[in-house]
Structure 1
Amino acid sequence: MKLRKVTAAASVALALAVTATACGSDNKNDSGSSGGNKIKVGIKFDQPGLGLKEPSGSFSGFDVDVATYVAKQLGYKPNQIEFVETKSADRENALARGDVKFIAATYSITDERKQKVDFAGPYLLAHQDLLVKSNSDISKATDLNGKKLCSVTGSTSAQNIHDTIAPKANLREYSGYSECIAGLQSGAVDAVTTDDSILAGFAAQDKYKNQFKLAGLKLSNENYGIGVKKGDATTVKKINDALAKMVSDGSWQKAVDKNFGPANYKNEPAPKTGVIVK
């Protein structure tokens, strides 16, 4: 009798263990290997045309389209992608911690960053530019002397122009690009500077239709790459293959036209994998 009680208890324990294991499997959240239920991908949540979380909770933008395409090539369906907000200052840490599998978030490839993370790509060549009103007479950086130039707090874009091109430019720092664009619309500032892709994304919004234009300056080269945890060469190779396919099947150009087209963004041709434009 005693033996039977022990056996029954053991059976119950085994059943509970199996149930717990099954539940754990159902909730598996895989930020790594293909075939898992979920893949976590880092993007920006506040950049229209690139990485934006819509009021509905959905996501839009060029980086989102690139990330979705890449994840599909890694074996994940759109409903298996979990987008995670990765702000600029936390991108390297998010990869090191394993919070995300990869990051597509206007992430310029630099020698300094390559010491901490690996990059696939580049997948877009952007340039620092100016956004001005459609009727503005500002056509070159030196025209900014005596004008009010806006960028976000902590950005070096406006300071670089002030230091090297237009020393009499009046710098204005706002907390975000949305505030800069609103200032441009109201006349509080005369120009906004950052990457042309970011500026085009804002200008392409319906509420700003035909109000702004890009000056078309190429004040820097920004090679956007997809960040991957340092040492994960396998994932870098898979992502590079996915990016090459995205270009060859026309999906890359469709994503550019959809997200930047309304701003008349004159994008560079799709970059070649591993080729960094200095």
Structure 2
Amino acid sequence: MTGYFAPKGGLPPQTALMTQRAVFTPSYAFIPKGCFSDIVTSYLPGWDKTRLWLIARPMTGFSETFSQYVMEVAPGGGSDTPEPEVGAEGVIFMTEGEIWLSIDGQDHDLGPGGYAYLPPGCQWRVKNAHTTPARFHWLRKLYEPSPGLPAPEAFVTHEQEIAISWMPGTENRWGTTRFVDPEDLRHDMHVNIVTFEPGGLIPFEETHVMEHGLYVLEGKAVYKLNQDWVEVEAGDFMWLRAFCPQACYAAGPGRFRYLLYKDVNRHAKLRGPGGFGR
């Protein structure tokens, strides 16, 4: 069975050392699992019996294209009006417990490993009708229409229904679970799962225009973020701005896996300070 780390909250004892691993830089941010305490949770209008850790949000110099929430819905909780932003699309990925999800009148039951794409303009609702908390990631982005391309349709699937696409020449040590066809240009974001078997690595410094959010679901590794090698483990979150160099070495002893966000398939906007693009 695949394991998915989900934070439980709480607070460290007063005897705990204050020094931890959190880092915020102009090129990346690293939020270790120890930061997911009760004191940094948030609440949302329209959501009952729900709290969340908001780990990425659009702001200059940080996450510019997306937001990411780690949701915790108590028994009986949920929302009939979850998304307030006109034009927003979303992805839900379940890590613990179960929820009932309705998308445009179609009902679905999601458990750990369940994945749902929520296109802009869809009507969706979510409820935890069980006796234990439900925990999931909710990623949001303003959809960018492109001439001649319709918006994607909603879909629901499960990680185990999709084979890992192993990178060529890696002896099946580094691969991606792709929930969307990379050649489907209707989609302007991908939320995938990246898997490294023990000994797998990214053998060069990836440097590219895509912004990333990486939440570690399982295992541990050392990850290069700009100029720094950082030890990471299940429950940690990394945000990388565009062109931040990255690499990875997963020494083991088990698999290293993370939920990956990236923006794709759209032109770079030609506007900015000083009137560019006007």
User: Normalised by the shorter chain, which TM-score bucket?
Assistant: under 0.3
Q: TM-score, normalised by structure 2?
A: 0.25
Q: TM-score, normalised by structure 1?
A: 0.25
Which structure shows the higher helix fraction? Answer: 1
Choose 1 or 2 for highest CA Rg.
1
- Relative contact order: is structure 1 or structure 2 higher (C-alpha 8 Å, sep ≥ 6)? 1
